[in-house]
Structure formats: C-alpha cells, structure tokens
Amino acid sequence: MTQQPRHVAVIGHGMVGARFVEEVARRDPDGRRVRLTVVGAEAERPYNRILLPEVVTGRLDLDDLALPEADSAAVTVRRGVAATAVDPAARRVALDDGTGLDYDELVLATGARAAFPPVAGLSEDDGAPAPGVTALRGVEDCRRLMSLVRPGAPAVVLGGGVLGLEAARALSEGGVRVSVVESSPWLMRRQIDQAAASILSERLTAIGIAVHSWRVAARWLPGTGLELDDGRVLAGDALIVTAGVRARTELAAGAGLAVEHGVVVDDALTTADPRIHAIGDCAQHARGGAGLVQPGWEQAAVLADLLTGTAPGARYRGVRPVTRLKAEGIELASLGDADADGTAETVTVSDPHGGRYAKLSVRGDRVVGAILLGFPDSAATIAQLYDQDAPVPSDRLALLLGAARPEPRIADQAGPALVCRCNGVSREQLEEAWLDGARTRQTLAEQTRATTGCGGCVRDVNALLAGWNNERPAPAR
Ligand SMILES: Cc1cc2nc3c(=O)[nH]c(=O)nc-3n(C[C@H](O)[C@H](O)[C@H](O)COP(=O)(O)OP(=O)(O)OC[C@H]3O[C@@H](n4cnc5c(N)ncnc54)[C@H](O)[C@@H]3O)c2cc1C
C-alpha cells in the first residue's frame, strides 16, 4: 500500500475543528497517513467558547480558555484566514488572502453564528451590531460586551434560552442590573416546561434579574434601552443578543451540497459529496447534535477514525441530550424529553416556596426525560441512568428526591459512571489517572480531558479528588 499521506483540509479552527486535528494527530502522530491543513477565520488560537460567561464574571481570563493544540509537523495551521468558496470538481478551496488549497478530503467545521432577530435598530446597514449591541459567541463579542457594561448600570439580554440566562447571571454577578426578554411564553422553552420555568423566573427575580417572558422586542434605542411591543422601555446601556444561532452553511450551499438548517451529513459525517465532510455546529445529522460540544467532539473522533483508516467501521449514532444551566446559585439540568409525547409515566414534584422542581419521565423502566431544578444530587444520579440506559429503581419519588440510590453499579466508586459527558470520561478512568499520579484537577484534566468541556463536572471531579486524596494512602506505584 502506498505511504503517500493524503491531504485533508479543515475549514474552521473552533472547538470541533481543533478537536478533529487533535484526534487525527493522536491516531497518526507522524503524519504517515494524513497531512492536515487547517484554516480558521479567527486570529486567536482555538479556545473554549463555552466558558466565555466565566470571563464576563472575572473568574477566568481569555487566556484560560485556550484549547490544546496538536504538536505535529504534519499539521499546518493558518489563522486569520477564511475560506470563501469550495470547488468540489477541482477539489480546491479559495481563501480570502487570494490563495487556494487543494484537498483529497475536505472537512467543514465552520460552526454557527449568533442569529439577530428582525428588531429595529439592532444592526447597522453593513450588518454589524449597532452601538451598544453585541452577541456572545466569540472572543471579540466578549471583549465588546465587557466594554459596554458597568456595575450598577442597566443591560438587557434579548433571548431567555440557556445562553441568555448564563449571560444574564454572569452580568448580574458583576453588579450589572439585568433584564431578560423572551418572546416565548416561558424561559428555556426547548429544555423545560412552564411550571419549571415559572419557578426559575422567581429564582432569577430573587437574585435581581428581571424576567419579561412572552414579550416581543420592538426597537433598540441606543443610549436608552429596549422598547417592547407594549410600549415599555427597559433601560439598558447594552443589549446582549442571545436569540439563537444559525449554522454557517454558505460554503456548502455554494458547492451544491445538501443544506437544510445545517449541512446534511450521514452516519459517516459525509455530505452529498463523498470527499466532503461536516462536523460540529455546521452539520445536520438525522439524530441531532448541533449546538452542543459533546456530540461535535464525538463526530470529530469518528471522522478521525475514518479518515486515518484507524476504524473504517466507525459511525456517529446521534446524541442523548443533556443540558445544564451554568448559572451561579441555580442548579438546573434537563435531559431527554420530559414530556415524552404523553406516552411515558411521569412523576413531578413542585416546590415553588423552596424554589425547586423535579420531573421524571420513564418508559419501560428507562429514563426518557427529566427536569431537575434545585436537585443537584438526583440530577447526577438520573443523568447516569439516562446515559447508561439503565433501569430506574421502583421508587421513582425517592429517586427524584435524591433518597434512592439505584443498583450498586452506579453508586459503586469503581463503577463505570460517566463523570465528564463532554469528553466521555468515566470515574474509572479518572481513578486510573489518579493512581498514575494525577493528584490535582489540572493534571487529571491533562491526562483524561475531564472538566475541559462545559465545566459542568468540575464539582464532581473535585469531590472525587478530595475523597481519594484525603481517604487513601498514597499508592505504591
Ligand atoms: C457562551 C456559550 C456557551 C455555551 N455553552 C455550552 C454548553 O454549556 N454546553 C455545550 O455543549 N455547548 C455550549 N455552547 C455551544 C458550543 O460552544 C458549540 O457547540 C461549539 O463551539 C461548536 O464547535 P464548532 O467548532 O462546531 O463551532 P465554533 O466553535 O463556532 O467554531 C467554528 C469556527 O469556524 C470558523 N469559521 C467559520 N467559517 C469559516 C470560514 N469560511 N473560513 C475559516 N474559518 C471559518 C469560525 O471563525 C470559528 O472559529 C456554548 C456556546 C457559547 C457561545
């Protein structure tokens, strides 16, 4: 078999493009099979954009967000360069610096951009955000946001989904007086039901965030605030637009590939052109994944298996969605479909006074969905059951209230429980790394990648570490 490496071009050096490069380098460290060229429109080295709200709170610096990069002579990275067109017949990509890139295989990892709703005054004629307006998708947005807000001054967040609420909470932690406007009847409508959202709204109000659900924004008035459809004006020096994202599909559409809301791919992450692949937020797979990093990283690993020839049978099978709101003081997790088209058995606990709500939907003794507000321990247990498609204990109420531990396999310290969903790291793998000498969160992260995704498992990893470091003698090896 010929040893000439094939040339794989990657467009987009964001969270998923960078992971793909890393996965290829792990499988083919000397570049014997694959030579990679990555072009990324952003000037920065790849970073974890999920943690941008942590920069807004001041807990992290932008430098802390850097993602690992493959150190391989077989990888060429071109930062600050954008692809402008793909010619599938010539197998060539045109770049905005006037050069071009020939490929054997092409990977689109162009992600998504913030969607701006059609509200008067949000954008300039050239499409740039109007004065006082920003999205929160990239480093530049984050810098702009921080230049617009000040402690004690008002700001408005347009969009009460997960990102909007995380941004609102981050700003309120810094003393900004925040209002959230959501055009749907309730907050986080894609993840939680109305009863949970009503309790969530009360919790937000209690920490100083004003919530305006089912209110349509009419006009942004720079220097004044956001006018609503009922004529009220919410004061705001800044408007943070978190009203959803749109997959970047222009290159694929221009190349004649099938595009719906994303670039359509099959289980091998291949588009309508067998030499062009798409992964991450720009891709549309029949069983979902766009909008979350874990499925994108899984896609990156599958495609690396395929393009390096490491596992020609590798396939992406879709996602079991779990969403955690990362907002200081609010523990909210949502998984699967808690309403489950009315065919599931459902147990609900509503405690508005305590600011808590829990709903568990089970079909054939398997979790099909759950909403858990203020129940962090049962959220962790139920997420494990869901991940492993394991049977739920017969006392569902006890499970919801955190009083029931399911079968020992889950609770067992040596069991296979998944701790870091983003990177698929189990408790067992963490323990192995600990036994091999990783005694801090940072060294565990370096060895296993745990905690380097959404950060939702930091608490669990810290707890495991504290237990191991305090309770066990140092291992002999
Ligand atoms: C604030 C925030 C919080 C989030 N929280 C979570 C969370 O808690 N959990 C979760 O799972 N997900 C979360 N997400 C979503 C997560 O960040 C995305 O799913 C992930 O970044 C997708 O990675 P990607 O590489 O597909 O896209 P991106 O990270 O957007 O990267 C795409 C890259 O491609 C580049 N690009 C685009 N077009 C071109 C071109 N023509 N030429 C060259 N380069 C190009 C872009 O500049 C960009 O750098 C969050 C996102 C944000 C912004």
Q: Which atom of ligand 1 is nearest to the CA of 84?
A: 41
Q: Quote the pLDDT of residue 200.
A: 98
Q: What is the tens place of the pLDDT at every residue in 6-31?
A: 999 999 999 999 999 999 999 999 99
Is 121 part of a structural domain of the chain? no
Cα four-point dihedral sign 437, 441, 442, 446: positive
Give residue 205 CA to ligand 1 midpoint distance, Å: 30
Is 320 part of a structural domain of the chain? no
Claim to verify: residue 12 and residue 97 sit in the same structural domain: yes
| CATH number, residue 392 | 3.30.390.30
Is 337 part of a structural domain of the chain? yes
Residue entry with tokens 């800044």: 238
Q: Quote the pLDDT of residue 247.
A: 98
The finding on whether 52 has its CB within 6 A of some atom of ligand 1 is: yes
Claim to verify: residue 220 and residue 270 sit in the same structural domain: no
The finding on whether 248 has its CB within 6 A of some atom of ligand 1 is: yes
In whole angstroms, give the CA distance from residue 309 to residue 277: 15
Is 255 part of a structural domain of the chain? yes
Give residue 61 CA to ligand 1 midpoint distance, Å: 18
Q: What stretches in the chain show pLDDT beneath 50?
A: 406-415, 477
Is 124 part of a structural domain of the chain? no
Q: Which two tokens mark 247? A: 């997959």
| CATH number, residue 77 | 3.50.50.60
The finding on whether 262 has its CB within 6 A of some atom of ligand 1 is: no
Give residue 294 CA to ligand 1 midpoint distance, Å: 12
DSSP for 195-209, written as a single string:
HHHHHHHHHHHHTT-
Look at residues 393, 409, 425 and tell me which one is the last residue of a structural domain.
409
Is 123 part of a structural domain of the chain? no
Q: Quote the pLDDT of residue 361.
A: 95
Claim to verify: residue 107 and residue 200 sit in the same structural domain: no
Claim to verify: residue 35 and residue 74 sit in the same structural domain: yes
Is 126 part of a structural domain of the chain? no
Claim to verify: residue 108 and residue 210 sit in the same structural domain: no
Q: Which atom of ligand 1 is nearest to the CA of 96?
A: 42
The finding on whether 289 has its CB within 6 A of some atom of ligand 1 is: no
| CATH number, residue 423 | 1.10.10.1100
The finding on whether 290 has its CB within 6 A of some atom of ligand 1 is: no
Total of domains in the chain: 4
Claim to verify: residue 49 and residue 151 sit in the same structural domain: no
Q: Which atom of ligand 1 is nearest to the CA of 111?
A: 27
Query: Best substitution site from 110, 163, 294 to test ligand 1's pocket, by max atoms within 8 Å of Cβ?
Result: 110
DSSP for 332-400, written as a single string:
EEEEE-SSGGG-SEEEEEEETTTTEEEEEEEETTEEEEEEEES-HHHHHHHHHHHHHTPBPPS-HHHHH
Claim to verify: residue 383 and residue 416 sit in the same structural domain: no
Claim to verify: residue 238 and residue 152 sit in the same structural domain: yes
Please choose, from the candidates 7, 10, 1, the residue with its C-alpha nearest in 3D space to the C-alpha of residue 251.
10
Question: Under 8 Å CB-to-CB from 290, ≥6 apart: which residues?
Answer: 112, 247, 262, 280, 281, 282, 283, 284, 296
Claim to verify: residue 353 and residue 302 sit in the same structural domain: no
Look at residues 224, 243, 262 and tell me which one is the last residue of a structural domain.
243
Helices marked H in 344-457: 376-388, 396-400, 408-411, 427-435, 441-448
Contact 385, 367 (CB under 8 A): yes
Is 152 part of a structural domain of the chain? yes
Contact 145, 56 (CB under 8 A): yes
- Ligand 1, atom 52, residue with closest C-alpha: 50
SS3 assignment, position 385: helix
The finding on whether 136 has its CB within 6 A of some atom of ligand 1 is: yes
Please choose, from the candidates 191, 193, 203, 186, the residue with its C-alpha nearest in 3D space to the C-alpha of residue 355.
203
Give residue 66 CA to ligand 1 midpoint distance, Å: 14
Q: What is the CA radius of gyration of the chain?
A: 23
Q: Quote the pLDDT of residue 372.
A: 97
Look at residues 243, 260, 292 and tell me which one is the last residue of a structural domain.
243
Claim to verify: residue 159 and residue 256 sit in the same structural domain: no
SS3 assignment, position 59: coil
- Ligand 1, atom 30, residue with closest C-alpha: 111
Q: Which atom of ligand 1 is nearest to the CA of 12?
A: 34
Contact 287, 319 (CB under 8 A): yes
The domain of 211 spans: 133-243
Q: What is the tens place of the pLDDT at every residue in 199-224?
A: 999 999 999 999 999 999 999 999 99
The finding on whether 34 has its CB within 6 A of some atom of ligand 1 is: no
In whole angstroms, give the CA distance from residue 430 to residue 250: 41
Claim to verify: residue 251 and residue 108 sit in the same structural domain: yes
The finding on whether 14 has its CB within 6 A of some atom of ligand 1 is: yes
Angle at 60 between CA 59 and CA 65, to 5 degrees: 155
The finding on whether 212 has its CB within 6 A of some atom of ligand 1 is: no
The finding on whether 240 has its CB within 6 A of some atom of ligand 1 is: no
Contact 69, 166 (CB under 8 A): no
Claim to verify: residue 146 and residue 233 sit in the same structural domain: yes
Amino acid occupying residue 199: I
Contact 65, 55 (CB under 8 A): yes
Query: Best substitution site from 49, 84, 269, 299 to test ligand 1's pocket, by max atoms within 8 Å of Cβ?
Result: 49
